[in-house]
Amino acid sequence: MFNKLTKSRILITGGTGSFGSQFLSTLLKLKTKPKQITIFSRDEKKQFDMRNTIKSKIVNFVIGDVRDYENVLNIMENIDYVFHAAALKQVPSCEFFPIEAVKTNILGTDNIIKAANRTKVKKVIFLSTDKSVQPINAMGMSKALMEKTISAKSKIIRKNLSFCITRYGNVIGSRGSVVPTFIEQIKKDKKLTITDPKMTRFMMTLDDAVKLVFYAFEKGNNGDIFIKKSPASDILNIAKAVSNKFKRRLRYEIIGTRLGEKIHETLLSSEEMAKSKDLGSFYKINPLTDQAKFNDYFYKGNKLKNITDYSSNNTQILNLNQTIKILEKSEVYKN
């Protein structure tokens, strides 16, 4: 797997985000490092901080926005592999500014697709989310259309280029996630705000997300969508685990489910599960295997098996001790 990266030129869009930072750190620890890594993002402050922290001769920093096609095209010249992590990811931001989510998550991704097809890029790994499955919020809807755009364009790209999608659930400690929120509330001696004690969320570390992306990079063929199997925990156990870390008795208030939130998250719909391939720690689906032509859409179909979806309420549900154990793998919890 890592042999492909040796002497290669890599582009990470949204490279100063939670995933981008962890992915860059992982790349720089490889014995056979890439020839060049380009961090492409629009936040100059985050780039400044990362530049001073990393101090690596093989890392370049470029200010830009995936919404700007000419900028993306210029940056992608002489790039071998692209890891597309740039996105608007927070549900409230997308809910109140849905057109901004469309511009970044859908049109920005389309710019990546078009630029990759016009340059010498060999492979693009796109990062998606559980919220794209049966979406009820603008963020999930924009990510679902992002996936559809990638799948559709995968059919018409040049032969020596491939697109793969990775889809995963909540990453512990990422910006806007519940664990940092609980930690901040405890530090301010406030009650923890719990939406619904029965709400469940997939539990995944940043390291798990990086492993999923590496797996897709190594094993993925054009059009593949990879999903990492993940355990889940309910919000009340997560709140208890964070309180235990501070040796504080749990104090909380129930505020109710907020706009755009689900009680349970889904990584694979029942329709996708019927067509998925179980790879042990991962599931794989590929919409291109249907090979349906436009006219066939109206006259042909497949009989679906009676299979349930893969959701945070029917995966492995962690108890309190197990929740603490997985949280301890997260830097934000340990520190």
* pLDDT of 171: 86
Helix axes 320-327, 235-245, angle to 10 degrees: 60
**Strand-pair partners of 126:** 84, 165
**Strand-pair partners of 192:** 252
Task: Using the Cα atoms of residue 71, residue 123, residue 130 and residue 214 in order, give the sign of their dihedral.
Answer: negative
Rounded to 5, what percent of the chain is helix, strand, coil?
40, 20, 40
Nearest alpha-carbon partner for 132 in 122, 119, 145, 120? 145
* pLDDT of 332: 79
Q: Parse the chain into domains and list their residue ranges.
A: 2-171+203-228
Per-residue pLDDT of the chain (335 residues; tens, 9 = 90+): 567 888 899 999 999 998 999 999 999 998 888 999 999 999 999 999 999 998 899 999 999 999 999 999 999 999 999 999 999 999 999 999 999 999 999 999 999 999 999 999 999 999 999 999 999 999 999 999 999 999 999 999 999 999 999 999 888 877 767 888 999 999 999 999 999 999 999 999 989 999 999 999 999 999 999 999 999 999 999 999 999 999 999 999 999 988 888 999 999 999 999 899 999 999 999 988 766 666 676 666 666 666 789 999 999 999 999 999 999 888 877 77
Catalytic residue numbers read 131
Give the whole-angstrom CA distance, residue 189 versus residue 26.
36
Give the whole-angstrom CA distance, residue 60 versus residue 38.
5
- Using the structure block, give the residue that is written with the tokens 């990470």: 12
* pLDDT of 301: 67
Give the pTM: 0.92
* pLDDT of 302: 65
Give the whole-angstrom CA distance, residue 44 versus residue 262.
34
Query: What CATH class does 2-171+203-228 carry?
Result: alpha beta
* pLDDT of 297: 64
Give the whole-angstrom CA distance, residue 202 versus residue 315.
9
* pLDDT of 292: 63
